[in-house]
Amino acid sequence: MEAEERERLLANHRNRPQERPDQDAHGRYCLACGIAIPPERVARVNAVRCVDCQHIREKQEATRVGRYRQ
């Protein structure tokens, strides 16, 4: 039981945005470019960036730590 609770808490922590989302009554907006993020993406991954901007961010991070290869 304790292991299940730990996994549940870790999953909640991983899915929590590390940055404060930009949102209003009309939806959530990408922190990088400002376009509206589809509600399906927000619901699925609790996104704070659109797909394109998130891809760019992940590529930059991977390059920074030496994991990205073209």
HSE (CB half, 13 Å, CA atoms) of 50? 12
Which has more pLDDT, 62 or 40? 40
pTM for the complete prediction? 0.64
pLDDT level of residue 63 (50, 70, 90 thresholds): confident
